[in-house]
């Protein structure tokens, strides 16, 4: 999907204004015209523009002064200077003041579109840099959905049908069932696949800065706002915006989100200017939003806006036939990462992992396999190796459980000694919290050091 821009053309030449409008509108851009710098600045105070075409020489006005005022009002706006009589020195000065480029009149339709294409690529690179900076520490998974179960095959079919549309989608299911994976798959099969996929973790963002994270802010809008910043909506322009665990959004932010969804526009914190928001929304929740609506914790009007198409992802315990496939998939992935050849699991180990109820679903299984690969001593993972994955102990036969409990006791003693009794570090290395570590030390009669 090609990006569409809000463009302001400031030129005293009526013919040039109309020609630019016709050319750009045919390519899907929204174009507003101003016949003077004063009129253009007035429009800029009311709304934001992605690009401004500014005539350098207009009667009674200094084009460079207008440029400086534009950059003062909206530093992020791209300004393309145009002029019939501009000198090289003037063009250089304009670029020093922040103009993107200079284009001499008269220019052809193709020349204008070529220059707009350069602007689009420049803006996209800026957004991509921001996206990469924010997602550098995020784990980007493959979007392949591993499954042979009838329930998930139906979900795959629903995704393939809804992905090419522009409708909003609500993904529901327990934590760890793959809602984020499904959201990425929808994006990659959509008409917006060339655009960004921006994820918003509604459960981890601090409520006091949530609005700024979503809509951006201007310099000086609050303490610490030392520069103007893009929000998630602008970063997702012409792409997909994914709200993970949306039930955690406060009612105040829900109201502002509803306004953005309905009007397809936003305003930065500390600013009243309108910015178009051409994004597709996908949301996910592990809560029952209808119950949240009934309890007054979630806005009914926003729920209906987000719940146009609902897809429920089943827990892993309801698709046990997929567990062997997922186990092999993760064994291969982590084996390659660690430089180990893991051929598979013993029958008893496979039985234990298949019968385990997996309260954390696919995410828990993935983390379990990662630990198994890290601690694997052979090409085949056995029930003894499961000692390093405390989650599955309850699924093992009694004789194996007793053996593993002894291995777990020895492992805890070794880690506690290694950390010189530092329970915080020991718990982190063991993959458990301090409370669980204390309980296990008491259970196995391991003395405090």
Q: Tell me the per-residue pLDDT of 230-241, one tens digit each, with 9 for 90 and over.
A: 889 988 988 999
Question: Are 44 and 116 in the same domain?
Answer: yes
Question: Are 179 and 227 in the same domain?
Answer: yes
Of 140, 141, 145, 177, nearest in space to 158 by CA: 145
Residue-range definition of the domain harbouring residue 12: 6-132
Q: Which residues of the chain have pLDDT under 70?
A: 1-3, 86-87, 124-142, 387-407, 431, 449
Angle between helices 63-73 and 88-96 (to 10 degrees): 20
Burial level of 135, CB count in 10 A (0-12/13-18/19+)? middle
Could you tell me the CATH number of the domain that includes residue 43? Answer: 3.40.50.2300
Q: What is the pLDDT of residues 283-304, one digit of tens each?
A: 999 999 999 999 999 999 999 9
- Looking at residue 86, what is its pLDDT? 63
Question: Are 326 and 427 in the same domain?
Answer: yes
CB proximity list for 366: less than 8 A, separation 6 or greater = 326, 330
Listed in sequence order, the DSSP H helices in 108-250 are 109-135, 150-162, 179-188, 207-215, 232-235
How many residues in the chain?
Answer: 449
CB 276 within 8 A of CB 7: no
Number of domains in the chain: 3
The answer to whether position 142 is within a domain reads no
Given 100, 132, 164, which residue is the final one in a domain?
132
CB 80 within 8 A of CB 52: yes
CB 417 within 8 A of CB 438: no
Could you tell me the CATH number of the domain that includes residue 307? Answer: 3.40.50.300
Token pair recorded at residue 434: 């301090």
Given 132, 160, 186, which residue is the final one in a domain?
132
- What is the pTM for the complete model shown? 0.67
Q: In angstroms, what CA-CA distances link 119 with 76, 215, 416?
A: 12, 23, 58
Residue reference for tokens 């499961």: 386
Question: Are 228 and 338 in the same domain?
Answer: no
Q: What is the pLDDT of residues 375-403, one digit of tens each?
A: 888 899 987 777 666 555 545 554 454 45
Could you tell me the CATH number of the domain that includes residue 358? Answer: 1.10.8.60
Given 82, 102, 132, which residue is the final one in a domain?
132
CB 163 within 8 A of CB 189: yes
Question: Are 174 and 272 in the same domain?
Answer: yes
Question: Are 251 and 324 in the same domain?
Answer: no
Question: Are 305 and 328 in the same domain?
Answer: no
Question: Are 126 and 221 in the same domain?
Answer: no
Question: Are 295 and 173 in the same domain?
Answer: yes
- Looking at residue 136, what is its pLDDT? 47
Question: Are 276 and 390 in the same domain?
Answer: no
Distance, C-alpha 205 to centroid of its chain:
13
- Looking at residue 361, what is its pLDDT? 92
Q: How far apart are CA 171 and CA 377, in angstroms?
A: 39
């Amino acid at each position: 999907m090609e990006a569409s821009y809000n463009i302001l053309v400031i030129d005293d030449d009526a013919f040039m204004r109309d020609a630019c409008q016709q050319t750009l509108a045919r390519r899907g851009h929204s174009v507003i015209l101003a016949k003077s710098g004063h009129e253009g600045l007035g429009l800029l105070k009311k709304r934001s523009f992605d690009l401004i075409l500014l005539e350098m020489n207009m009667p009674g006005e200094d084009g460079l002064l207008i440029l400086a005022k534009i950059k003062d009002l909206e530093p992020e706006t791209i300004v393309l200077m145009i002029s019939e009589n501009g000198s090289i020195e003037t063009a250089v000065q304009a670029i020093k003041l922040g103009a993107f480029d200079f284009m001499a009149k008269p220019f052809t339709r193709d020349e204008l579109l070529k220059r707009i294409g350069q602007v689009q690529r420049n803006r996209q690179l800026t957004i991509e840099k921001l996206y990469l900076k924010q997602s550098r520490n995020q784990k980007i998974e493959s979007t392949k959905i591993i499954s042979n179960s009838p329930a998930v095959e139906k979900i795959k079919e629903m995704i393939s049908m809804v992905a090419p549309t522009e409708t909003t989608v609500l993904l529901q299911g327990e934590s760890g069932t793959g809602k984020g994976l499904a959201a990425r798959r929808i994006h990659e099969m959509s008409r917006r696949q060339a655009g960004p996929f921006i994820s918003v973790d509604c459960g981890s963002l601090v409520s006091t800065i949530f609005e700024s994270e979503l809509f951006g802010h201007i310099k000086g809008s609050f303490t610490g706002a030392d520069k103007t910043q893009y929000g998630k909506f602008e970063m997702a322009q012409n792409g997909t915006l994914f709200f993970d665990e949306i039930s955690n959004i406060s009612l105040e932010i829900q109201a502002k989100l509803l306004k953005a969804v309905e009007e397809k526009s936003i305003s930065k914190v500390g600013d009243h200017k309108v910015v178009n928001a051409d994004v597709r929304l996908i949301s996910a929740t592990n809560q029952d939003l209808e119950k949240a609506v009934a309890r007054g914790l979630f806005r009914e009007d926003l729920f209906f806006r987000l719940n146009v198409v609902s897809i429920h992802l089943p827990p892993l315990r309801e698709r046990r036939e997929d567990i062997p496939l997922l186990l092999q998939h993760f064994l291969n992935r982590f084996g390659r990462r660690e430089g180990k050849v893991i051929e598979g699991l013993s029958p008893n180990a496979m039985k234990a992992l298949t019968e385990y109820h997996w309260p954390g679903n696919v995410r828990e299984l993935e983390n379990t396999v990662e630990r198994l690969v890290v601690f694997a001593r052979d090409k085949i993972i056995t029930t003894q190796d499961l000692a390093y994955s405390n989650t599955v102990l309850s699924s093992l036969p009694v004789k194996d459980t007793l053996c593993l409990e002894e291995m777990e006791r020895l492992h805890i003693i070794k880690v506690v000694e290694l950390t010189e009794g530092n329970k915080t570090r020991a718990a982190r290395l063991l993959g458990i919290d301090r409370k669980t570590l204390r309980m296990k030390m008491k259970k196995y009669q391991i003395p405090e050091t």
